Amino acid sequence: MRSETKFPQLLAPMIRGMTGFLEAAPEYGITADMKKLLTEVSPAEADLSPAAARKKLEIMGVSTARTAQTPLRGQIPVRTHFNRDAVKPGSFAFDTAAHCGGPASGQFCKTLTGADVFSGWIEERALRNAANHWVFEAFSDIHSALPSH
């Protein structure tokens, strides 16, 4: 794990060292002004740009989880932890993951993941969306693909 405090101290000399290479390749379009800025970059300046870029790309609080509002929900037992010695092969835990990027609006893909709690074996299926039809179809496909089936 790299130390965040050492990263700019390493990045600035790398930028200065690569400037000649970048300037020699016309496809990078390094001008004299750009070269001057790159060769004089300080560790503090090198730290500002990546921090701002990371902040801009950061996904903040996106969640597609919602509570099922059906009478069936109260009848399904939910385990919050497993006693590994009591779990037998074939005890699966299922979850979905959304692949929506930023805002969770519109149509986007999901993944249904089934994990055998005993062995760690996983089966994954792509879903068009979270509609019950697609989840049931993927669940049935996972069930039929298992070796014990």
114 within 8 A of 92, measured Cβ to Cβ: yes
Domain-wise residue ranges, the chain: 7-57, 71-145
What is the pLDDT at residue 43?
81
For residues 87 and 19, the model is more confident at 19
Radius of gyration of the chain (CA): 25
Question: In sequence order, what DSSP letters do the residues of 81-114 get, joined into one string?
Answer: ---TTT--TT-EEEEEEE---SS--S---EEEEE
Q: Which amino acid would we find at residue 24?
A: A
Q: Which amino acid would we find at residue 135?
A: V
**How would you write 2-13 as a 3-class SS string?**
CCCCCHHHHHHH
For residues 26 and 5, the model is more confident at 26
In terms of Cβ atoms closer than 10 Å to its own Cβ (0-12, 13-18, 19+), residue 57 is exposed
How does pLDDT run across 43-71, given as a tens digit for each residue?
877 777 666 677 776 666 566 666 666 67
Entry pTM: 0.48
How does pLDDT run across 103-114, given as a tens digit for each residue?
666 677 889 999
Highest mean pLDDT among 84-88, 89-93, 136-140: 136-140
